[in-house]
Structure 1
Amino acid sequence: MSLEADYLALSKGARMHLKCRAGDRFYFRTSGQVKWIIWGVIGLICLLSSLLMSVVLDGAEQIIYMVTSLCLIIAVTISLGMRRHLVLDTTNGKLLREKSWWGLRRSIKSADPLTNQRAVVAPIAELSQGCLLEIADQKYTIGTFDQTRQLAIFINRYFAVPAFDRVTRWPNEIELQDKQHAETGSCASPAPQQPLSSAGLEEHKSPSAVPTQARYVPIGDQKVFLKLALPFPLFLLLGILLSQLANRGGV
């Protein structure tokens, strides 16, 4: 199969993190860019309420909110435009830490050989299901063990990055080969079985001793940005209330 076909065969979670742009240049967004995006979204919510207040108010209050809105527009534009990428450069065999602003004025912060990197399939300690991919000190939640392993093998096949599995024999690592058909397993790492005494056996059978299994929830299902937008209706009602009081001379 070709590079494009293998990339399209990856899971949705894998393609959400490993992006492909013009010229078959593949890259990951870093955690630094995600933080900038979160701050940008928070600033955008504040900007909407500030713009509303600058419309419904007048006089000195309107000027204050207009200045605040202008400052927030600048801050949101800067935050949402920040780009921090891990670029898999096959031409030079390097892993590039690239930064830019809205894709402009790109610069390379560092460049390391791809062969010196490690793509590790690791379990998520807080959850009983789901795996993440570790590469260049970054962690990306991909999905199931098979989906994460498929991405690691893809990176190993086309970018010569050594791939490892920390799930099957956790906490030990085994190297993933391109044609290796590992047995499908859960990302939960089973603990060694210890002999139980009669008292321990009774406690083990007790319903209260059964741990609650956490369910893996993809990032897209958590509605993070929707939760951030929840205060907006409150700001809207507050703005309308203040405008009504101002028109009646109550403020």
Structure 2
Amino acid sequence: MGNRRDQIKRVAAGLFVEHGVAGTSVRDIAEGVGMLSGSLYHHFPSKDAIAFAILSDFLTDLNARYRSVLPHVNGMREELRALVHSSIEIAGAHPYATEIYQNERAYHGPDAPAAIATAVREAHTFWIAAATKASACGELRAGLDPVEFARMLREGVWWSIRYHREHLDERRDEVTDTVLAAFVDGGAAPGARTGARPAADDRSIVDRLDRIERRLEKLSDSLLHEP
């Protein structure tokens, strides 16, 4: 039964992102799995219960990964890299969970289920704690609000996951490095290299950032011109 439940969640997640939870029927999910609608109710009482399970499983694994990796790293860059990389890894293991959360106000709005809201708040505390500690010890650039910095970095990660979804597993390290270059290195306190010419590795990161910016511009244009 466990494998069947996982199959239902995988199929439903893709449909929820494409059509929304409201626009997806139990019949749609059942047909995608290859079963009768009535049989699906043996596994989940409703499509909303499926959406809840998708997000709950994702958040449970995400917070567990944060708790497991953070004790083994030190310093702002390593702690934030661990959070970024772990987020991408867990998102890859739970396809479309982040997109469902972003798309569905029922799960991120004021009426979100208590269990989901609590798990999301717990996940946020890891980011806020890392940024606050970095600010207190002078690793984060003076003048940056650590809570706002943590929020922007975290949301940048989730939107990067959305953008790279189709090739997320093979591009995990590249996405991690690019997010760090854009947010973490840019937010680090000035060091000895301030004003120096960028090294070859730095130039390659800048090139990747330029390519991503161009892609985002094209994506934005296409969304604006959709019928």
- TM-score (normalizing by structure 1): 0.25
Q: Going by fraction, where is helix more abundant, 1 or 2?
A: 2
Q: Going by fraction, where is strand more abundant, 1 or 2?
A: 1
Higher relative contact order (CA 8 A, sep 6+): 2
- TM-score (normalizing by structure 2): 0.27
**Highest Rg: 1 or 2?**
1
